[in-house]
Amino acid sequence: MTAMISETAYAKINLALHVRRRREDGYHELETLFAFVDAGDELAATPADADRLTTHGEFAAKIDDPFGNIVAKALGALPHGQGWAVDLEKRLPVAAGLGGGSADAGAVFRMVERTHGLPDDWHARAAKLGADVPACVLSRPCIGTGTGTDLAEVAENDLAGCPVLLVNPRVPVPTGPVFQAWDRIDRGGMPGGSLREIALHGRNDLEAPAIAICPVVADVLAALGETSPFLARMSGSGATCFALYESQQALSEAAARIAASHPDWWQLSGSLR
């Protein structure tokens, strides 16, 4: 790298998240439909004598240990020549079901890919950083199975460009307790079809346990439901919820309505990639 490069860490949402069983290793067997919004954290890197990370932005204070941040770990996982000075603008809330840290790591992988190329075992290196990281490297719609690291891209992406609104009540929800609160009932596999069909006929099995732990999630879903989306659902283990709309005008009206009625909630408008 001889000059500054930049990359967006696209916000991840789970259009569907089916929990099938708890595995003997303590993890859960999942079927999930990953999709990505065309906005998120912003990263920029310049040549330096050693790797270093600077964080700023609305949610930077939520990162307890910048040196142990997943961005630093991603740099350590990949050969990238000289040192990189990485600037991370943290725009996505933390512990929010948006894969914020995983998205940041995915952005680092794409930056390394552009400058040095990725090693053949990049997927395994990404998976060691977190279950969502391989999908976030791709940042394209895909189905994740196993713990979410086994990926298959969706053949028909009929939701590209779909207007989407993300809303978070500014309450962090740790992933572990939500999975522990899952009732262990297998409600069946994910349907087939196009991206839209899978999303519409899918579900998020973690919504109920997340609401039990963080009741305001139900308020967010109810508020989004009143804005006439064709789909409103919680992402990941919460607390962020998303709504999909048929038009940009519908999205703009929904965003304005949510901002007026709940000015303390975080929100992000965008389009699906």
Question: Mind telling me the catalytic residues?
Answer: 12, 132
Round to whole Å and give the CA distance between 13 and 242.
8
The backbone torsions φ and ψ at residue 231, rounded to the nearest 5 degrees and listed phi first, read -160, 130
Burial state string for 204-230 with b = 16 or more CB within 10 A and e = fewer than 16: bbbbebbbebbebbbebbebbeebebe
Round to whole Å and give the CA distance between 120 and 101.
23
Q: CA 127, 132, 135, 137 torsion: positive or negative? A: negative
Q: Evaluate whether 83 touches 51 at the Cβ level (below 8 Å).
A: yes
Joined tokens for residue 122 = 């990049």
Q: How far is CA 35 from CA 143, 164, 166, 170, in A?
A: 9, 11, 13, 22
Round to whole Å and give the CA distance between 201 and 100.
26
Burial (CB < 10 A; 0-12, 13-18, 19+), residue 85, is middle
